[in-house]
Structure 1
């Protein structure tokens, strides 16, 4: 699974870090880490509500438990694991503007409305796993029929948590762009995994992010540009 591979690959970057804060908030988890010099970084992962259940105990996130977190049956623990990967990554990410050419048809996997609106008037398909968020989007079942046709795919980072990313990449014949705060890992970690671009956000004001999430908000790269710097980096 790709989430497990990211956890394995981030370890070489994790030396000297310690976790100083974490929260499973209403719509997202976050983890705050500190490096040897006292610099602090925050990583975020949205919570996939359609995968919530009461099986398995939720555990305190720790760096030496990262493999256990990302392999746990409880999605809250997997979300903590992804947030921790993203927190460590924040130190090393240098925001870039490496945007791919957008070719049609376009697939948007995850009903990200601010992104969807950008493509009105173009040929695109939207898929959403959650019935609560679906709206006019298709279900994830139709991905099997239409994803192979798409030339550009925007894929929510939440697919890392529910293990649907692997199948999407398997049937994709286009440019695969993993997008969102949950996709905030070092792009090099995704080398040879089928992801072509990573689009996320570099955070600088940790207190602002922490308060924002504690209030029950979620982060949109399109709506919340005041929370950090958006970037798009090609995976090489």
Structure 2
């Protein structure tokens, strides 16, 4: 998997660099932006035009309002090829799909094993207003709406689950009229599940990472504080820490 991610990432960087030579950035970007976010994040956001664009989109999604999942892995067709046994050509086929405008996602199991041609095979469908992709009769249809379309439960994908989004919607501390210290806070934590599904849960100022700036004096006597921000942090494939904060 380490070699796969490295090869996959280098192909994205090289391919997108060649695509961006002419025309505007919108027309040059023929690959799913979330695939670029996935690969550039895993590599620690290396300096390149496609990774700069991917990081800008990653940050734009947490810039209020609304706060979106910074990585929407269900928009990246990782399971574009289905085969019973991995072979050297699989990586190339996935990369070819990323850099093509193919309207369908190939299903290769029946081609590789004629005896299974009549079996029910999974056909990935992108949802949220998109028409179902064409699929042969007899194929089972699976809606992939909020998680990766392949198994990413292994440790090699821990960098996805490391992403945390702290939405500090309201944090106020001040001295009340009766000289008591009043504190009010609303903090939500956005996290990723085993298969890349994103969900929100209640959190608190106390749970904010040390890298967060603006609430250091929270709970210290009673200095006047009013703060709102969105903070996202992560660890790349090698475990290196990174973060961004947007105040508003």
Q: Select the structure with the greater relative contact order (CA < 8 A; seq sep ≥ 6).
A: 1
Point out the structure with max Rg over C-alpha.
Answer: 2
Q: TM-score, normalised by structure 1?
A: 0.26
Q: TM-score, normalised by structure 2?
A: 0.25
